[in-house]
A and B are shown apart, each in its own frame.
Chain A
């Protein structure tokens, strides 16, 4: 006998459940199945290959490079964009002149689509006459081909990503800063705490729930944001800016090797799931929610 609650609950849950199944669970399961089969091509249907794709991956130098690049990319972007976001939020939360204008300026990169951003930066980075190379030229360091050399191309993309993300994360920090009751800060001041102590002992702990939220978003973005790779370098020169998601896109939609692309997706999914587990498992316990 179905209870009255269940009879009402199921129809209410159905819309969300249908969307989750169709757009999240079914694609995940289908990807897992595809990852264990060869790519069907014209006259050759898909065959069971088991772990074959994963064996290929272990010996695929481009995959290895994409993985390492992505780790560097994430390891720099996450702390840099979050640190910058916090600094900008503290700045525009203080009483400074032209506060609205500064806030807008910091937030502008977020409003622009990544492809437009990339096309602007392509000319910033242009050797010799590009803005950045001209500035470097003033101090005698000109003549750089920042996007065209393997040593600098990934860092050039990292700068764009940090610039793009920091403004977005700033908004969350700013909102959180304004939620902090002034009484707490006043009390700290009365107790004799200086600005550094107020930041470390009062503000940062109260920002921790926001920090976790931003951290999770930053991790996702570090693996998700590859639009500028497509627009600027397409993974070059010599795969020095190859990132996991861009490689998956290339394998799936340029090479049409859907089986291998599914296997790569499974690895990316695994990496992200692992990071999320660590974040929720370890960090969540240390955060004080009001």
Chain B
């Protein structure tokens, strides 16, 4: 036997033995789509979580696919589902639930809850976050990367204006009073520092407006996603307040404040108080050249904020084995320890009370007390606006908010027209 033919024989027999062995090593393969919405090398962090899961569950292989922004992820997942190759698990916006159910692509999670441990896992989520995943008596998603809107304020500007840096505003009137003290003008009357900024660009207006509406005692949409209340007195009052900040009190920059530049507006000292997400904490902590505080939102009279972020969804087209494997993966990704670590790495709010009891997160809160503000605010936070055809309804609301903020229409006129348009869109889904 020549050396070459010997090699061939060995390779051949190796191939045969592999072929014989492989059924014994049968693997369940699942695919996982996830977006990254905040800064940092987060794909490495997710890959680490996936590797840990695979080490604990050798019979499951997870293909983790970074899929861009939330919008990209939903677009990809829906397109893939339509072409018959959906992912098994994906992180998508909590508010996508109606769109996903209407498209018939996701499966309820509660069907997989069989043991007391599973039930304990489900009960461990904060009710405020789980509420957005419940519909028609089922749980459709597991809260994963959840956020809430908070107010960042410049403590040095507070001290310079003669305000107490440890007492941010608790009511709308106080916020205006603080804003007046914080708004600085130069000799020619040009504003050099604005009191307050609330982003009104199309990617944020509907979200932050939800907080204003809740503070004013109203709500934007019904729990069943079929109704909006844009022309209610509470909603109109909330928009009138927002408009008055600039038009009447002169403490808010004119026009529509861009969401993307709001953190740098704050760090450049252009805004003394800025409304944005907890997800920006890491960025602002690393780059703000002054001492800053994070405050819970004020109220009129009751304080309230709005929840945001994404849930893990299970897709309907997967086989039973894949769904069972995916359910184990979802439980792994939402364990107390993992969500605590994910919160520290990103600034997201861990949506489980158990996570906040872990040593890691307690140490982090001791070092960054601002991180704890979000958790304390959750009790008074409401879900963000969520309806069928959510993006279209949001866009209708955003256009109305922008028309009022830029003085094209009065808040009442803009919101009445928006309500009529939302009615037209949602009427189809009510039969």
Interface residues of A (CB under 8 A from B): 41-43, 62, 122-123, 126-129, 137, 140, 142-143, 145, 147-150, 233-239, 250, 253-257
Are B188 and A148 in touch, CB under 8 angstroms?
Answer: no
Inter-chain CA distance A137–B186, complex, in Å, is 12
Are B264 and A236 in touch, CB under 8 angstroms?
Answer: no
* B423 at the A interface (CB under 8 A): no
Interface residues of B (CB under 8 A from A): 71, 75, 78, 99, 101-104, 188, 190-192, 200-203, 253-258, 260-261, 264-265, 268, 270, 389, 391-392, 395, 398-400, 402-403, 405-406, 408
B399: nearest chain-A partner, CB-CB: A238
Interface of A, secondary structure class, is loop
Contacts A/B (CB < 8 Å), 16 sampled: A42-B102, A122-B258, A127-B270, A129-B265, A129-B270, A143-B254, A148-B200, A148-B253, A148-B257, A149-B256, A234-B201, A234-B202, A235-B202, A236-B256, A238-B406, A255-B392
Q: Which residues of chain A are near B268, meaning CB under 8 Å?
A: 129
B391's partner among A62, A142, A254 (CB-CB below 8 A) is A254
Are A126 and B256 in touch, CB under 8 angstroms?
Answer: no
Inter-chain CA distance A123–B270, complex, in Å, is 13
Q: Which residues of chain A are near B201, meaning CB under 8 Å?
A: 148, 233-234, 236-237
A237: nearest chain-B partner, CB-CB: B402
Inter-chain CA distance A142–B188, complex, in Å, is 11
Which of the listed residues B101, B201, B256 has the most CB atoms from chain A within 10 Å of its own CB?
Answer: B256
B201: nearest chain-A partner, CB-CB: A236
B103's partner among A41, A128, A150, A237 (CB-CB below 8 A) is A41
Are A145 and B256 in touch, CB under 8 angstroms?
Answer: yes
Inter-chain CA distance A122–B188, complex, in Å, is 27
Inter-chain CA distance A273–B389, complex, in Å, is 32
Shortest Cβ distance from residue B63 to the other chain A in the assembled complex, whole angstroms: 24
Q: Which residues of chain A are near B264, meaning CB under 8 Å?
A: 123, 126
**Given the contacts A143-B191, A149-B406, A236-B202, A257 and B256 also touching, CB distance less than 8 Å:** no
Q: Which residues of chain B are near A126, meaning CB under 8 Å?
A: 258, 261, 264-265
A123's partner among B191, B261, B392, B398 (CB-CB below 8 A) is B261
A147: nearest chain-B partner, CB-CB: B258
B254's partner among A129, A149, A257 (CB-CB below 8 A) is A149
6 A-B pairs closest in CB distance:
A148-B255, A145-B255, A148-B256, A237-B402, A238-B402, A234-B202
Are A237 and B256 in touch, CB under 8 angstroms?
Answer: yes
Inter-chain CA distance A142–B260, complex, in Å, is 21
Are B406 and A142 in touch, CB under 8 angstroms?
Answer: no
Are A140 and B188 in touch, CB under 8 angstroms?
Answer: yes
Are A122 and B260 in touch, CB under 8 angstroms?
Answer: yes
Shortest Cβ distance from residue B228 to the other chain A in the assembled complex, whole angstroms: 16
Q: Which residues of chain A are near B102, meaning CB under 8 Å?
A: 41-42
**Given the contacts A42-B102, A140-B188, A236-B398, A253 and B203 also touching, CB distance less than 8 Å:** no
Which of the listed residues A43, A140, A149, A256 has the most CB atoms from chain B within 10 Å of its own CB?
Answer: A256
Q: Which residues of chain A are near B200, meaning CB under 8 Å?
A: 148, 237
Q: Which residues of chain B are near A254, meaning CB under 8 Å?
A: 71, 391-392, 395
Are A256 and B395 in touch, CB under 8 angstroms?
Answer: no
A256's partner among B78, B255, B258, B408 (CB-CB below 8 A) is B78
Are B103 and A142 in touch, CB under 8 angstroms?
Answer: no
Inter-chain CA distance A207–B261, complex, in Å, is 44
Q: Which residues of chain A are near B261, meaning CB under 8 Å?
A: 122-123, 126
Are B389 and A255 in touch, CB under 8 angstroms?
Answer: yes
A150's partner among B78, B202, B391, B408 (CB-CB below 8 A) is B408
B406's partner among A123, A233, A237 (CB-CB below 8 A) is A237
B270: nearest chain-A partner, CB-CB: A128
B405: nearest chain-A partner, CB-CB: A237
**Given the contacts A122-B260, A234-B203, A239 and B103 also touching, CB distance less than 8 Å:** no
Shortest Cβ distance from residue A42 to the other chain B in the assembled complex, whole angstroms: 4
Q: Which residues of chain A are near B255, meaning CB under 8 Å?
A: 127, 145, 148-149, 237
Inter-chain CA distance A41–B188, complex, in Å, is 58
Which of the listed residues A41, A127, A142, A148 has the most CB atoms from chain B within 10 Å of its own CB?
Answer: A148
Shortest Cβ distance from residue B116 to the other chain A in the assembled complex, whole angstroms: 35
Inter-chain CA distance A238–B201, complex, in Å, is 9
Q: Which residues of chain A are near B403, meaning CB under 8 Å?
A: 237-238
Q: Which residues of chain A are near B202, meaning CB under 8 Å?
A: 233-236
Shortest Cβ distance from residue A123 to the other chain B in the assembled complex, whole angstroms: 7
Inter-chain CA distance A122–B203, complex, in Å, is 15
Q: Which residues of chain B are near A234, meaning CB under 8 Å?
A: 201-203
Inter-chain CA distance A150–B408, complex, in Å, is 9
Shortest Cβ distance from residue A132 to the other chain B in the assembled complex, whole angstroms: 13
Shortest Cβ distance from residue A255 to the other chain B in the assembled complex, whole angstroms: 4
B105: nearest chain-A partner, CB-CB: A42
A235: nearest chain-B partner, CB-CB: B202
Are B399 and A42 in touch, CB under 8 angstroms?
Answer: no
Are B260 and A145 in touch, CB under 8 angstroms?
Answer: no
Inter-chain CA distance A239–B421, complex, in Å, is 15
Shortest Cβ distance from residue B243 to the other chain A in the assembled complex, whole angstroms: 13
Inter-chain CA distance A162–B309, complex, in Å, is 37
B79: nearest chain-A partner, CB-CB: A253
Q: Which residues of chain A are near B391, meaning CB under 8 Å?
A: 254-255
B190's partner among A142, A236, A237, A256 (CB-CB below 8 A) is A142
Inter-chain CA distance A256–B395, complex, in Å, is 13
Inter-chain CA distance A253–B73, complex, in Å, is 11
Shortest Cβ distance from residue A229 to the other chain B in the assembled complex, whole angstroms: 11
Q: Which residues of chain B are near A257, meaning CB under 8 Å?
A: 389, 392
Shortest Cβ distance from residue A38 to the other chain B in the assembled complex, whole angstroms: 10
Known contacts A148-B200, A236-B201, A236-B398; 7 further A-B pairs (Cβ under 8 A): A122-B261, A123-B261, A147-B256, A149-B406, A237-B201, A237-B406, A250-B395
Inter-chain CA distance A234–B260, complex, in Å, is 12
Q: Which residues of chain A are near B265, meaning CB under 8 Å?
A: 126, 129
Q: Which residues of chain A are near B389, meaning CB under 8 Å?
A: 255-257
Inter-chain CA distance A233–B200, complex, in Å, is 11
**Given the contacts A129-B270, A145-B253, A239 and B399 also touching, CB distance less than 8 Å:** yes
